[in-house]
Amino acid sequence: MREREIREGHGSMVSRISRFISDFDNLVPAYALMIACVALIGLLTLPLLTYEPDQIYPKTLNPSSPLNPYDRGGAPFTAAEVHAQYPENAPYIGYVTGYLTPLSRFFAATTQYMGTTIVAHPGGIIDEILYYTRGLDTIVETSILFVAFAVASFLYRRREE
Amino acid sequence: MFDLPIEGPALFSIPFGDIVDYASPYTLILFLFAALFTALAILSRPEQHADIIFGEDGVYTGRIPGPENRFQRFMAIACGLAAMGATVSGDIFNFCIFTSMVGLTCIGIVASSGNRHVLNAAFEYGIVTMIAMIPLFGGAAIVAATTGTLSIWELAGGAIAVPFVAKAFLVLGVMGEGMAPFYVAKAEITRAQGAPYILMIHVSSLLIFLRIIEIIITI
Amino acid sequence: MQSRTGKKIAGTSLVIIILAELLPVAGMIPPWAGFILLVLSVPWFLLGLMLWWRAPGGESDLPFIGY
Amino acid sequence: MIQYILFALATGLLFHGIHRKLIARIQGRPGPPVWQEILHTLKFSFKQTWIPDTASEVHFVGVVLISIAIWILALGVVIYEGSVLLLFAIYLLHKIVEHGMGLSSGSPYAKFGAIRSVISAASELPLFVTILLIYYFTGSLMLSDIIQWQASNGPLIIPAFPAAVAMYLIILSKMHFGPFSIIEGKEIVSGNRTEHFGVWRAGLEAGFAIKTYVLLNAFVLIFLGSFSLPVLVLIMAVILMTLSFVCAYCPLLGPYDTVTVQSLVTGVLLAYIIILEVVL
């Protein structure tokens, strides 16, 4: 008992909490607890949430298409029905809906899984919405990947030395 | 251009397709502050850490080796750019990815430290950063599902109700990305050397925190 | 850092401060712009002035390490 | 405009002097004269000054300039009755200055101060809730609207008393010798200001003086309303004196105890907001 008191302290409530949060090994549990609390509130209020049918980027899934999750319909370089939040910022909207490189056209013609490889091989599908109206997002996303690779390679090379 | 009595009128906007970045007096000052500290990180040399040798009169000063210094500076600049993007972004999803980039670059800044204690703290902080992406993007996803849009311009003014849980998730995500709760890991991380770069951790996390306050009051 | 540098900084920023006071009165820039100019110039003015009139001499040294 | 800045600078330094004097009197010491801090700042500005050999020069000098600049900007927000959000943003940016000040010199004591400044960043949590509560009652965060709201509905301190307490705590955590000023605890020499001496110290004192003036002024404007200048300064001085009493009687808390106390206050305020939302 006494040992435990020395280890965990027997001060006021405040100093007990202080001791707990001053150890960074407790950081992840504390943060996880906070997420759990908010997630619980989210679950309780779930019946109040309603799905908005008028989505900015509507999409119908066509499982038979080899480009499945990314297929926006329409032929490349002809106008297709694509939505945008600010159409005035996108004068050429809908004109490239899904451009395939020769390699990806081969994949699309022979397999059903072209859509799953979009991030795995270069020049897969130029998704009109992803790359045109939300171009900044794709730039930042690749920057994140770049930063992650930079950190990883730096750590790896330092271990080599 | 919206004019809400929260942060002053929107001064100008820069459209990137559907993502319209805007500057109000508030976000403009945050942006300039991020730019200022990024410039400081580029211009200033790191400090030398002065310490005494125990039991003697000698004082030694430690200098960061070249490669470490270059990498830290690179990460600090990336962190500054991410913070600048997060402060002016006019789209919730775009804000979220800039924020997660801030979290990642913060780990990058301390990754070059040779101090085991600092690296341990950075590891815990990194785990929190990774966990925090769930509430962060979860919040953005709930916003998109319940309102049908992601643009802060469309959501501003409370015309479209954003559920409380989405806001709570966004705040929680930013807390995890930027300022881990109760600051313990961040305080330990700042023991690492390289003042202008380490400072960027603090700058970026406070800026994204300030920005999320503005966002959740605005939407 | 030379005390002459301080003099130059203080002088330049004093000119900006006077401009920031006069231009809004003349109606050439809005008042808030004048204030922004003050925000940018007053810190330089204060430090410049102090660097100018501070006592000369002293060599840079290591930080204070212990009693 | 410059007259406002100089007035805020002089008044803030005088406030610091009154603060020291009151603490001394409460603790049974004679204490320095009230204008001591003005003399102090002048004295520092006449001293020999250099940048330590180990410091990161641009950074070392930069934070002094930034600390003065941001508080002049905050003064502008108060004068032009701008957004409270902006004012609080500047308060948080001050944290960065404190932090940078400590890191830039290479001195271990200054570094400890900087680390403690990161820990004490928990004071931004009550700030967050204060903003939410003000917005909840007035529906606006522009100072001009808040003042107008108070002209028709009476002082905001009555309905939003917890927010006033939280903001009082925020100001308290920035006062010298207070229970939350862990960054300048004497066991780490002068904390993050250890290596900023002479001219640099005088510049920082100037920035901090404007900071004290702006924070007290903002407190009066947000929670009590608009007054003529002499009355305003008088009310600010009274609030300052209550702060001095707290500082004189409360010991310095442990670094993480400040975090706990501030987080608990935030939790209570959040609960208050949720109750308001549910009941009203």
Give the pLDDT of residue A1.
46
- Three-state SS letters, D96-147: HHHHHHHHHCCCHHHHHHHHHHHHHHHHHHHHHHHHHHHHHHHCCCEHHHHH
Q: Is residue B53 within 8 angstroms of chain C, CB to CB?
A: no
| Distance (Å) of CA D194 to CA C59, C63, D83, D113, D252 | 18, 9, 34, 9, 19
pLDDT value for A48: 82
- Measured at the alpha carbon of residue D125, what is the angle toward residues B91 and D104, in degrees to the nearest 5? 90
More confident: D19 or A55: D19
Q: With 90 as the cut, is the pLDDT of residue D214 above it? A: yes
> Could you read off the pLDDT of A19-29 as tens digits, one per residue?
777 777 888 88
Asked if B50 reaches chain C (Cβ–Cβ under 8 Å), the answer is yes
CB atoms B48 and D54 under 8 Å: yes
Taking the CA of residue C26 and the nearest CA in chain D, the distance in Å comes to 14
Give all chains having 3 or more CB-to-CB distances under 8 Å with chain B: A, C, D
B112, pLDDT greater than 60: yes
Round to whole Å and give the CA distance between B29 and B207.
Answer: 10
pLDDT of B182: 63
State the sign of the Cα–Cα–Cα–Cα dihedral B151, B156, B160, B161. positive
The pLDDT of residue D72: 92
In a domain, C63, yes or no: no
Residue A67: is its pLDDT beyond 80? no
Residues 14-43 of A with CB under 8 A from D: 14-15, 17-19, 21-22
- D84: tokens are 């409270």
Query: How far is the alpha carbon of C10 from chain B, nearest alpha carbon, in Å?
Result: 22
Contact residues for A129 (Cβ-Cβ < 8 A; gap 6+) = A57, A72, A82, A83, A84
Domain membership flag for residue C58: no
pLDDT at D51: 82
Res B83: pLDDT: 92
Residues 6+ apart with CB under 8 A from A37: none
Q: Residue D204 above 50 pLDDT?
A: yes
Report residue D36 as tokens: 């001591």
Please indicate whether, in this complex, the C-beta atoms of B50 and C62 are within 8 angstroms of each other.
yes
Residue B1, both tokens? 């251009």
From chain B residues 127-146, the ones with a CB under 8 A of any chain A CB are 127-128, 131-132, 134-135, 142, 144-146
Flag if D141 and B61 touch (Cβ within 8 Å). no
Which of B8, B43, B198 is nearest residue D103 as measured by Cβ atoms? Answer: B198
So what's the ipTM on this one? 0.85
Confidence of residue A121 (pLDDT cuts 50, 70, 90): low
Determine the Cα–Cα distance for residues B210 and B78; give it in Å rounded to an integer. Answer: 19
Number of A/B CB contacts below 8 angstroms equals 155
Give dist(CA B129, CA C33) in Å, integer: 40
Q: Is C47 a member of any domain?
A: yes
Query: Is residue B35 less than 8 Å (CB to CB) from chain D?
Result: no
Q: What angle do CA A119, A120, A123 make, to 5 degrees?
A: 70
Q: What is the DSSP letter of B20?
A: E
The model's pLDDT over A141-160, given as tens digits with 9 standing for 90+, comes to 888 888 888 888 888 887 76
Which ranges constitute the DSSP H helices of D185-254?
Answer: 198-223, 229-249
Q: What end-to-end distance do the CA atoms of chain C give, in Å?
A: 28
Task: Indicate the domain borders of chain A.
Answer: 2-48, 58-161
Give, for A127, the enclosing helix (H) or strand (E).
Answer: strand A125-127
Q: How does the average pLDDT of chain D come out, rounded?
A: 85
More reliable by pLDDT, B49 or D92: D92
Which chain C residue shows the shortest CA-CA distance from B29? C36
pLDDT tier for residue D93 given thresholds of 50, 70 and 90: confident
**pLDDT higher than 60, residue A72:** yes
Neighbours of chain A (3+ CB pairs under 8 A): B, D
Average of per-residue pLDDT across B42-63: 73
- Rounded CA gap, A153 and B10, in Å? 42
CB contact under 8 A, C59 and D50: yes
* Chain C contact present for D209, CB below 8 A: no
Integer Cα distance of D37 and D32 in angstroms: 9
C17, C22, C64, C65: best mutation site toward chain D, by most D Cβ within 10 Å? C64
Which has more pLDDT, D193 or B98?
B98
User: For B127-142, what is the mean pLDDT?
Assistant: 89
- Give pLDDT, residue D70: 92
Q: Do A15 and D261 make contact, defined as CB atoms within 8 angstroms?
A: no
- The structural domains of chain B, with segments of one domain joined by +, span 12-218
B99-103, B120-124, D16-20, range with the lowest pLDDT: B120-124
Q: Which residues contact A11 (CB under 8 A, 6 or more apart)?
A: A19
Q: What is the pLDDT of residues D1-52, one digit of tens each?
A: 788 889 999 999 999 999 989 999 988 888 889 888 899 888 888 888 878 8
Range of the domain at C38: 3-53
Q: In Å, how far is C31's CA from the nearest CA of chain B?
A: 15
From the number of C-beta atoms within 10 Å of its C-beta (0-12, 13-18, 19+), residue D130 rates as buried
Quote the CA–CA distance of D108 and B179 in Å, as a whole number: 24
Query: pLDDT of D218-244, one tens digit each?
Result: 999 888 888 888 998 999 999 999 999
Query: What amino acid occupies position D47?
Result: K
DSSP B160: S
Mean pLDDT over residues D177-194, rounded? Answer: 78
What pLDDT shows up at residue B57?
67
| Cβ count near B33 (within 10 Å) | 23
Chain-chain contact of B191 with D111 (C-beta, under 8 angstroms): yes
d(CA B162, CA A44): 16
Q: Which residue has the higher pLDDT, A63 or D73?
A: D73
- Domain count of the fold of chain C: 1
pLDDT range class, residue A8, cuts 50, 70, 90: low
Q: How many angstroms away from the CA of C8 is the closest CA of chain D? A: 16
**Which tops the pLDDT comparison, A54 or B95?**
B95
The sign of the CA dihedral D157, D163, D165, D166 is negative
Residue D162: is its pLDDT beyond 80?
yes
pLDDT tens string A75-91 = 666 777 777 777 777 77
Percentage of residues of chain A with pLDDT beyond 70: 68
Do chain C and A touch: 3 or more Cβ pairs under 8 angstroms?
no
Tokens of B163: 């559920």
pLDDT band at D74 (very low <50, low <70, confident <90, very high): very high
pLDDT at site A125: 59
HSE-CB for B61 with a 13 A CA cutoff: 19
